[in-house]
Each structure stands twice: as C-alpha cells, then as structure tokens.
Amino acid sequence: MNESSHTETPYTALGFYHKISQLRADTWNALKRDLGQLVRLNDESRARNLIKAIDVKLTRLEIIEDYHAFPSKEDFRHLWALFDREEYVLLEKVVKRLVRALISESYRRRHVDLSETDADAEDLETLDALAQLRHGHPASNSSAQPYFELLIVDNLSSQEEEVVREAFHSLRRPEDRFVYDVVTVRSFEDALIAVLVNPNIQACLIRYEFPYKSKYNLSALRNYLEGLSEQELEHQSEAERSILLSSMIHELRPEIDQFLVTSGDVEATASRDIRHFNRIFYRETDYIEQHHTILRAIDSRYRTPFFDALREYSKKPTGVFHAMPISRGKSVTRSHWAGHMIDFYGINIFLAETSATSGGLDSLLQPYGPIKKAQEYAARAFGARQSFFVTNGTSTANKIVVQALVKPRDIVLIDRDCHKSHHYGMVLAGAHVSYLDSYPLNDYSMYGAVPLREIKKTLLEYKRAGQLHRVKMLLLTNCTFDGVVYNVRRVMEECLAIKPDLVFLWDEAWFAFATFNPTYRPRTAMHAARTLRDRYRSEAYREEYAAWKAEFDALDPDDDATWLERRLLPDPEAVRIRAYATHSTHKTLTSLRQGSMIHVWDQDFRQKVEAPFHEAYMTHTSTSPNYQIVASLDVGRMQAEMEGFELVHAQVEAALSLREQLYTHPLLQKYFRVLKNSDMVPAEYRESGVESYYDPVTGWNQMEEAWARDEFVVDPTRVTIAIGNTGVDGDAFKNEYLMNKYGIQINKTSRNTVLFMTNIGTTRGSIAYLLDVLIKLAKEFEYRWEESSRPERKIIERRVHSLTRELPPLPDFSRFHDAFRQCSETPEGDIRRAYFLSYDEENTEYLRFDNGELQAEMRAGRDVVSASFVIPYPPGFPVLVPGQVVSEEILHFLQALDVKEIHGYRPELGLIVFTEEALAAPPET
Ligand SMILES: Cc1ncc(COP(=O)(O)O)c(C=O)c1O
C-alpha cells in the first residue's frame, strides 16, 4: 500500500477481531460444558449431536489457537487424538485444565504439560484460577518474570517449528528479565492476524521465504489488505515482502519490536526502507544473539527510569534538613494524632516523598536525568517528537501550549464549546479569539464538533480580509466529552492548504488511549502529523499536488465554492507540520489524578518554540511538582507500551457488549436508547453512510469503514444513553438513581442523556453489573407506570414530553462587541481586554432577564455585552464570554434552561454586563 498515494488508510477490518478474545474464552467454556454433558449422558442421539458440536468448537478453537503459544500445536494434537479415540472423560479433564490455565494465566508462569496428569500442578492452577476470579489476579504473581510471545514468520514444517521453538526454550535462564514462548505462522496474512488477535506478541522475527495467503479463508482480513495485489505480492522478492509486512505490522502495533532474518543480499536489504526493524540478522547469526537482542529490546520498553529512580531513592537512608516534614513519614510516624495516615497509605509513599532533585532524582523544571529519559520514552510511545509531563492536569497543559505559541493579538480559531481552560488560556495569552460553532445536537442538548467547512470558511474570511498572517493556531477538542472524533488528518491537510504554517493544538484530554488501537490511532494528532510529513516529502505527493494545482488554478479563486466544495491540498514546498496534543493521561490510562502530558510534533519546535515553551512551562509549573504523579506517568507510559493494545482492545470489547445488550434487550430499549453513530453525527458528515457500527445480523463490522472515511465518528467506548422516556432528567438520574441507589458513578449528563464511559479498567463484570442495574431501573419505571393513577400518569407523560420534545435550541456564538474588535470584516475579539475591563466596578452593571429589564434595554437598541463567562452545567460550555453581545437566541436558551447551576450568573442580580460608557471608551493602547 502506498501511503502517499491516498490520504485515507485502507480501513482495517477489525470488526471480526474486536470480540475475538471473548469468542475465544466463550468457546472454550462452551466446549467444557458440552464435554461435561457428554460424559454424563445416556441418550445416544443427543450424544451424537454433542459430539458434532464438540468437533465444530475444537475446529474453531484450533484456528484461534494457531495464533497463540498456549495451547501449543502439540497440545492440540493431543486434544484431537483424545477426541478421535473417543476418550471423552479424559478429554473433559484436559479441557478443564486448559481452561483453568487460560483463566489463571498460569502458562505465563510455568510450563503447563497437558499430556501429564499432574495433581500438584492442577491444584496450583485451580488456586490461581480461583484467585483470578475473586481478585482479578492470580495467587502466585508477585515475583514472576513478565511473559510475552515471540512471533516467528517462516514457512516451516511442523518438525522444523518444534526445533526452532525448542532452540529458543533452551536459551531460557532463571536470571533473564523476561520469559517468552514462540508462536509460528507461515504466511503474510497469518502474521497480520496473529498480531491482531494475540496481544501477548511483543516481538516479531520475520524469517525466510513465506507465502502470502493463509491456509484459512479469512474474509474479514481481506478489506485490510485491499489495494495489495496478490499477484504483485507473489512476485515480490523476499526482502520486499518482509519490508511490506513489517510496515503493516507497524501500522497495527507500532510497539512490537521487529527483527528481520535474511538470507538475501545484505547490501540490497540494508539500502531499503528498513526503519521498522530494530535489527537485521543474517542467516548465520545464532539463536543466542537473537535471544539477547530480543530481551534487550523488550527491556527498553519495560524500563521506567523515573519510577525506578524514585524507588531506589526511597531505600536510601537520608537526613532531611530541608522542607517537607512528611518526607520519609517523619512528621506522621511519631504523631499522636496523624498516624492513621500511614496506616492508610503505607510507608512507601512517604519514603518516596522528597523535595530533593539530586541523589539519583531529577527536576521536572529542568530535567537532565531519569525524568528526561522518561519523557523521551513517552515521546516514543505516543509517536511524538518531544513529550512533556505536566502535574496539574490538562487544564495547565493547555495553557502552557497556548502561551508558548501565541503572542498577544495573534488570532486563534477555537471551538466555542471547548474546555474552560482554553478560554482562560486565551485571556492569559492575550489572543484575539475567533470562536467556531460546533454542529448542535438539539434533541440531546449537546454539541457535536466543528465541521471542516466552517473552519475553511473562517480561514477564507481571514484570507480575503488580508488578515491570514495573524491567524496562528487552530484549537479543537478531539475527542469531545461525548465521544465525537474528528478526521484529524483531513482537517490538517485542508487547513494547511489555506495557511501552510498553521499551528494545531488538539485537546486530546480524553484520547490518550487512542494511540494504542489501530482503528483509533490514525485520528490522533501525532499520528496524523507524522503521516502528513511523510506524505508531503514523497515524490508521489508532488505529482498529485501538481495535477491538483493545475485544476485548481483554472477555477475562480473569489468563488467560495472553489475552496469549500472541493478537497484542498497543501503546497509541499511551503507546508510546515506543527501539531501539539494535550493528554489527560489520568483520564484514560494509568496515572494518578492530574497526570497529563504534552506531545509535540512541530517541525519548527527547535528553531522557534523551544525557548518560549520553556518559559511557558515555567509560568505554569509548580516548583514543587508531585513526584508520585511523575512516577505514575512513567509507569502509565510503560504499561501502555507493553499492554496498551490489549487493554484498549478489551475496553472496546466491553463497550461493544454493553451496546449490543442495550440495542437488543426489549425492556431496556423502552427506557434507554443508546445514541448510535447516526444520532450523533448528521448524515452530511458520514460519507460512508454507516449509521450504526452494529447490525443484529452481521454483528460489529462497520466501525472501521466509518473511522477510515467519515468526517466525524463516535467513539463506541463512550456510551451516551437517551433517558427522556424515563421522565427523569439527566442530573436526577445520575444522583438519585445511579449514585445513591446503586453506587454507579458517572460525570456527564445533559438534560435528557447520561454518558457511561468505559476505560481500560472496565471489566466484563462491571458491564454485567451496569446492565443488571439498568434492567432493575427499567422494571422500576415499568411498575411506576402500572401502579400510577391517571393524574399521576399525566404528570409522567408531561415530564417525558418535556424531556423529549421541549428542548431549547442551542445558541451559536453571537459576536464580540465592536469595542473588542480590531477588524470589522473578521470575527475575532480581544477577550483579554474584555475580561480585565470588568475588574473596575464602574465599568459593569447587573441586568435581570427574569423581569424583562434586560430585554427592554435590547429593544431600545442597546447592545448588551456580557462582562463575564456564563456557563450553565449542564451542558458546561460558556453561552457567554466577556465581550460577547447577548443575542435573542442566547436569552431564550438561558430562560428555557432548567438547570440549577449557572456559573457567572446570580439570579437575584442578573447578568453582569458592561455599561454603555465603558464600551464607548477608546481602548488602551
Ligand atoms: C476537553 C478537556 N480538556 C481539558 C480538560 C482538563 O483536564 P484535567 O482535568 O486533566 O485538567 C478536560 C476535563 O474534563 C476536558 O474535558
């Protein structure tokens, strides 16, 4: 596949694989059940049916297990032999043991020999399996070497495969940091399937000649391989095919360490694009060399430089003669009153608390040692050029990036319903703000995201007004709180065609996990930045651009349609890729609260940004950053690099099973309607036409198509449920029903929706609990209706009507008042001047709108201008910002709102607005 010849990646048809681990576990359990029934059965015809069912399941499992090291191919031969010999009692016993080993994951810690009936080993597995079920981890896990699987791609016979496997096994030493087993696949297709379905694979050894096609009929994979001509592949040289395979594995799972073993021409291989291989081995290189290289590569991901340094430090005896009495627990261990703090937290956290930056530690403000290393590893993990840890959340990360890049009077285009840290960031930086409206979802009182057309239109306005040079940054939220995801690459590409040096800040507060899944990753800022840079450097793109430009130049540049109705391409000579992303690592990956990261992919960073970035970082960072947060970011990064793929995969699986139940359960459907892709993304932004990722007949198979093509998609792990039919509003449902009755926490509601977010910690058990609760609640609503009198039913109906029909349209951003604008042709406003103008009391007054006072002023022709942010919760975005003119729509919206919490509004006083005199005063220069 030639990346540079198309903008979209051919979509990865992962639908089939989404639920493969559940399918695997469920099929093994079903097989165990069938065997259990069979051995206790006397009825011959039922026995025949069961035997047939067992045969089918074993066949299916054999395919799945072909991509896993345990159970091995030899184990499977043993199972088939027992089946063929009709030794069902023994087969049941072996399958039971195998299922226990899979549940307890005991195969990661010791060799499980299924051909032996070892009572001790069985006991251990039983204990482990029970502990796993009860506590979520096996009983004997503490000092185990981490386990992974090595994928070998080579067209080996079964005997050769055993020889290779044995050769690697024989190299194991007790002092090795890790232990691994070998999975062998024999074709190009099988290698791709293996890395998709087997998260244990951490390293891949691509060996000699292997065919393209799998022996299985894998229609689900074909789409992914779309564009690859089989004939071409069959005629490729060994090296070409290996290199192509490595780049495809890298697209799916970039963290996997890949090695090439070649018998071909050394120089010819070395001169090709071999960047995805850690190392190339030549035929004569021995297994020992390969073994050590593989272990070293895994170790470089597994290392946690700062966490390790902090643990080392905590063991050293030190005398504390500086601040922090809590350091080493000194102020609490001997306390008569505060000792229970140690009881609760344990001593380690205090041993790790220090204000020292030497003695093996490091300074976050000027890192040179383990924090520097930890940040470099984070950059590797997230595909950034530089990464920076932030210990005060993305609220601070956002302000750092804006201050580093934006000077007073620079123009920033920004989605108006962004997080409040951005609005405050604009005030601090003195940016002139041009707000962009997201498409509204009036039926659910929430916003979607900003259409590309709207962004292009705004940029065009600046171009026509001769102000484009002042536009510095486009700032968007990806994904939104509700899970609407942009087509990041497309947005950047088209904006860069209008302004080739535009800086992008993507607020990915909710999207750190996306890097670790191949369907999500292309919609992250870092991935898009790197892909676009590669694309613009290629000869193929230059040709594409030249052809496009010739066509474009023949059109009328003054006609909006020329720019808005077609896809724009940037000039490869002029374009600079400048992208920033901020992550609340703590929201979606492992990190203590407030642990965030800034990721940078900016070609001009070193030259233009490094110094101001440093100053901005200093402005906002405490000189006493919390080491525990830094250490947790380090561990969170490591975990994501080692098992992010598996965890995110499981998260998606859990969310899909929750959605599936909600789509199909008749009682749940009556009260709770899950919002589908088409409910949250209007048809005009769904090129693929995909309405829902799920179809009861074909299952989950349309997600990747939508994600590859559409302007917007919905992240299925964020499940928004419309609850209007319950007659209970979002806020009451959250507090009175979910929290108080069942201890279920959520934090986002709209008037008639609630948002359930899954995360990498969500288990099948927690999904089952949630479903159970929702079913109980649906029954409650059912009884309430059945037992209500007629007048009571009328009340319920009225509430349902109000929640489903009477929804005030969400207002657009009106405009900044002229007192805060410099250019009448373009919309930006000086929010900082407006913000500080309100500090002098004489510049403001209060106007009430509940008694018609404010409306009377508006009718008399006055521009009523807000002097503060006005933010109702929900929906949580500012309906007014300082300097913004109050419009009829905004007033209607505020009047129709039935929420209790509106920040910046005091009902007894009204809205705080600027006096007419303050607005008439000339701006200070
Ligand atoms: C889009 C967005 N950006 C930034 C933030 C702030 O993140 P943090 O809580 O890490 O400061 C939030 C918080 O909810 C958010 O939703």
Q: What residue has token string 């350091």?
A: 327
* SS3 track for 367-384: CCCHHHHHHHHHHHHHCC
Amino acid at 266: V
Q: What is the pLDDT of residue 184?
A: 95
Q: What is the pLDDT of residue 12?
A: 38
Report how far apart, in Å, the C-alpha atoms of 324 and of each of 214, 321, 364 are: 62, 9, 18
Q: What is the pLDDT of residue 78?
A: 93
- pTM equals 0.93
Q: Whose CA is closest to 121, among 185, 113, 302, 836? A: 113
Amino acid at 480: T
Asked if residue 393 has its Cβ within 6 Å of ligand 1, the reply is yes
Cα(203) to ligand 1 centroid in Å equals 35
Q: What residue has token string 């374009």?
A: 575
Bond before 875 cis per omega within 30 degrees: yes
Q: Which two tokens stand for residue 648?
A: 């995110």
Ligand 1 pocket test: which of 481, 584, 873 has the largest number of ligand atoms within 8 Å of its C-beta?
584
Q: CA-based angle 55:56:57, to the nearest 5?
A: 95
Q: What is the pLDDT of residue 216?
A: 74
Burial class for 234, CB neighbours closer than 10 Å (0-12, 13-18, 19+): exposed
The C-alpha atoms of residue 881 and residue 93 are separated, in whole angstroms, by 69
Report how far apart, in Å, the C-alpha atoms of 564 and of each of 422, 553, 712 are: 28, 15, 17
845 close to 881: Cβ distance less than 8 angstroms: no
Q: Whose CA is closest to 214, among 238, 190, 247, 235? A: 190
Asked if residue 477 has its Cβ within 6 Å of ligand 1, the reply is yes
Asked if residue 507 has its Cβ within 6 Å of ligand 1, the reply is yes
Q: What is the pLDDT of residue 120?
A: 61
The C-alpha atoms of residue 34 and residue 38 are separated, in whole angstroms, by 6
* SS3 track for 430-484: CCEEEEECCCEEHHHCEECCCCHHHHHHHHHHHHHCCCHHHEEEEEEECCCCCCE
Radius of gyration (C-alpha) of the chain in whole angstroms = 30
C-alpha torsion 865→866→867→873, nearest 10: 180
382-427 pLDDT, tens digit per residue, is 999 999 999 999 999 999 999 999 999 999 999 999 999 999 999 9
Asked if residue 585 has its Cβ within 6 Å of ligand 1, the reply is no
Q: Is residue 430 left, alpha or beta, with left meaning phi > 0 and alpha meaning psi from -120 to 50?
A: left
Question: Beta strands 829-830 and 871-873: pairing type?
Answer: unpaired
Beta partners for 180? 148
631-682 pLDDT, tens digit per residue, is 999 999 999 999 999 999 999 988 988 998 898 899 999 999 999 999 999 9
Q: Whose CA is closest to 719, among 765, 677, 751, 689? A: 677
The C-alpha atoms of residue 68 and residue 47 are separated, in whole angstroms, by 30
Pick the atom of ligand 1 nearest to 477's CA.
Answer: 1
The C-alpha atoms of residue 799 and residue 142 are separated, in whole angstroms, by 55
The secondary structure of 186-227 as a DSSP string is -SHHHHHHHHHH-TTEEEEEE-S---SS-SS--HHHHTTTTT
8-state DSSP, 884 = B
508 close to 514: Cβ distance less than 8 angstroms: yes
Q: What is the pLDDT of residue 133?
A: 59
Asked if residue 401 has its Cβ within 6 Å of ligand 1, the reply is no
Cβ neighbours, 10 Å, residue 343: 9
Cα(509) to ligand 1 centroid in Å equals 5
Listed as ranges, residues in the chain with pLDDT below 70 are 1-19, 116-143, 217-235, 264-272, 284-285, 320, 874, 898, 922-925
Q: What is the pLDDT of residue 359?
A: 78
Pick the atom of ligand 1 nearest to 594's CA.
Answer: 10
Bond before 71 cis per omega within 30 degrees: yes
The C-alpha atoms of residue 803 and residue 809 are separated, in whole angstroms, by 13
8-state DSSP, 267 = H
8-state DSSP, 870 = B
Report how far apart, in Å, the C-alpha atoms of 813 and of each of 540, 806, 886 are: 42, 22, 9
Report how far apart, in Å, the C-alpha atoms of 274 and of each of 151, 230, 447, 720 are: 18, 22, 45, 44
Q: What is the pLDDT of residue 693?
A: 86
C-alpha torsion 275→279→283→286, nearest 10: -170
The C-alpha atoms of residue 74 and residue 657 are separated, in whole angstroms, by 33
Amino acid at 271: S
8-state DSSP, 115 = T
Phi, psi of 118 (to 5 degrees): -100, 110
Cα(393) to ligand 1 centroid in Å equals 7
8-state DSSP, 146 = P
The C-alpha atoms of residue 316 and residue 326 are separated, in whole angstroms, by 16
Amino acid at 632: S
Asked if residue 106 has its Cβ within 6 Å of ligand 1, the reply is no
The C-alpha atoms of residue 261 and residue 285 are separated, in whole angstroms, by 9
Cα(394) to ligand 1 centroid in Å equals 5
Ligand 1 pocket test: which of 419, 592, 620 has the largest number of ligand atoms within 8 Å of its C-beta?
419
Q: What is the pLDDT of residue 13?
A: 39
Report how far apart, in Å, the C-alpha atoms of 609 and of each of 404, 432, 710, 742 are: 7, 20, 33, 50
SS3 at position 360: coil
The C-alpha atoms of residue 579 and residue 599 are separated, in whole angstroms, by 8
410 close to 462: Cβ distance less than 8 angstroms: no
Q: What is the pLDDT of residue 513?
A: 98
SS3 at position 700: strand
